[in-house]
Structure 1
Amino acid sequence: MSRPDVIRSYVAIGDSITEGIDDGSGPGGAYRGFADRLADHLGSFTPDFRYANLAVRGRRMRHIFGEQTEQTLEWRPDLVTVLAGGNDVLLPGRNLDRLGEQFERGIRRLRDAGLRVVIVSGHDTGWIPVLRYYRGRIAVFSMHMRAVAERTGAEIVDMWALTSLADPRAWSEDRLHMNSDGHQIVAARIADLLGVPMGSRKDWEDPWDTPPREVPRILRRRENRRWARQYLVPWLSRRAMGRSSGDGRLPKRPALDYLHDEATRLRMARALDEGVG
């Protein structure tokens, strides 16, 4: 088995999921997310690893394949992850075939520049009240993503195929974003695809030793009503008004910079030299 290419630079582009919303496991409770987790893992293999995360919550494809892609092409990293389209697919009246064409143009630009691209496709919302009505649209767009990967030579991680993400324990209270466990599942799946596993296959395929807790129907209904008032209605209202929770926000890692400080890079380099010697 050939050894995977060393990845020395990584840029993540996308929206709130790539930004890491609701994975508050970073320093001081800061959002971390699958991209940060993947970067930490990839950075453990090389001292001079560099990482940027250009994702911002609420961003649509025109942003992701606009300014985020332009900056990525300027840097020409070894790896790009792309999670895009969720905020477009959920808008009423958007033509999914045209969105698929827009997605392909964006991916093709990255691939034509010689970049290694990993697409992260949509997840199954069948278990989520109200959002299950978008299930068909998400499924169709995910098939467009798979076709784009096939035509462009991009790699793809299909979140729909990750049955572990159909478990409520992988999601935060708002049911729109993954929690720390969910982000870890996605990061581990991408690492496995890249040939640098974070652990065993079970860690991302079946991370829990027990089934989900069964909640009585009356309590589920009460919880669903509370969730709709607290999270769903405000989310739908913002979209109806053309607003986003990311308006005015900047990326959390806007520069392709070293993941490790200078002292850590020197220490890692010495350890690698001693290992080779």
Structure 2
Amino acid sequence: MTGRFVAIGDSFTEGVGDWNAAFPNGVRGWADRVAKQLGRQDPAWEYANLAIRSKRLHQVRDEQVDRALALQPTLVSLYAGGNDILELRTDMVALMREYESIVARIAASGARPLLFTGFDIPLSPVFEPMKRRNWLFNDHVRRIARAYDAVLVDYWCFDEYSDPGLWDADRLHMSPAGHRNLAAHVLRVLGVEHSLTPRLPEREGYAGLVAGLRRETAWLGEWVVPMFGRRLRRVTLGDDLQPRWPEPVRPADGLKRLARARQTTAG
């Protein structure tokens, strides 16, 4: 198995939560980890990652799909729609029609689509209404995966992600351990041998009611309120960012080394 892996989508695929200054945009993520293992299996594997945080599905369609297919990939991962689900007025029927159109284009190009369901993130009760939308999203993704012979990573079924240690401080993005664990799942589904051993963090003890309430209040103030504030102002954390790996690279050459070389050239 060899080819060219191109990743498209939002923060999930960009790698937010897996913070590492040695990599472009200051993050690493599951896709880089998967690409590294593919390169170990066969040094001829190539990899590009066009995903940028905060992108809605229509932005992924308009800004990333043509660019991805122009790279003539053999495998294209797509995870997008989560930011749309957080919008109360999103028409889910129209959203999934748009999602399917993207998958259809990927499949028609000859590339194999790699799709993901969404996990029911263990958030505050404030976000409970979003679960029904996520379930609807997942049902459609499973149907679309069958229809287009896509590889499906059924993320919703991975019970270990109920562990807070697999999530970053904002509770919306995976921690480094979460990204590493997901990379292992992706490689398993692809049938690729790898050296990734899941490192699940130790569970935290019960902090007590008062401490728990303080933590919830701090989380709402530090992460949730600013997020919705940005939405009202129509600005995102990805507005000034470029894709991490816009052109195909060979992970076997070392992604850190390639990142350093790119910085040197840019400087």
Give the TM-score normalised by structure 2: 0.88
Match of 1:14 among 6, 9, 33: 9
Q: Is the 8 A contact 1:125 1:132 kept in 2?
A: no
Letter in 1 for 2:226: P
Q: Counterpart in 1 of 2:183? A: 187
Shift in alpha-carbon separation, 1:39–1:110, aligned structure 2, 3 A: same
TM-score (norm 1): 0.85
Matches of 1:173 and 1:144, distance apart in 2? 30
Paired with 1:151 and 1:212, the residues of 2 have a C-alpha distance of 42
| Maintained 8 Å contact 1:65/1:106 | yes
CA distance in structure 2 between the aligned counterparts of 1:122 and 1:209, rounded to whole angstroms:
21
Structure 1 residue 250 and structure 2 residue 242: aligned? yes
Segments of 5+ residues of structure 2 without an aligned counterpart are: 255-267
- 1:27 CA displacement: 2.3
Q: Equivalences for 1:174-253 in 2 at 5 Å?
A: 174-198=170-194, 203=197, 207-208=199-200, 211-253=203-245
- Which letter maps to 1:246? G
The RMSD of aligned alpha carbons is: 2.0
Structure 2 counterparts to residues 87-166 of structure 1, below 5 A? 87-166=83-162
Partner Cα separation in structure 1 for residue 242 and residue 22 of structure 2 = 19
Q: How many aligned residue pairs are there?
A: 253
Aligned match of 2:77 in 75, 78, 81?
A: 81
TM-aligned CA deviation for residue 134 of structure 1: 1.4
Return 5+ residue gaps in structure 1 as ranges.
1-5, 263-277
| Structure 1 residue 152 displacement after superposition | 1.4
Residue aligned with 1:27, SS: coil
Residue aligning to 2:50: 54
For residues 134-169 of structure 1, give each alpha carbon's deviation from its aligned partner in whole angstroms, at most 9, with x where no partner exists. Answer: 111111111111111111111211211111111101
Distance 1:208 1:181, change over 3 A: closer
In structure 2, the residue matched to 1:270 is none
**How far did 1:26 drift?**
5.8
Distance 2:103 2:149 in 1: 10
Could you say which structure has the larger radius of gyration? 1
Structure 1 residue 197 displacement after superposition:
3.7
Deviation at 1:259, TM superposition (A): 2.5
1:179 aligned partner, one-letter code: S
The sequence identity of aligned pairs, in percent, is 32
Deviation at 1:216, TM superposition (A): 1.4
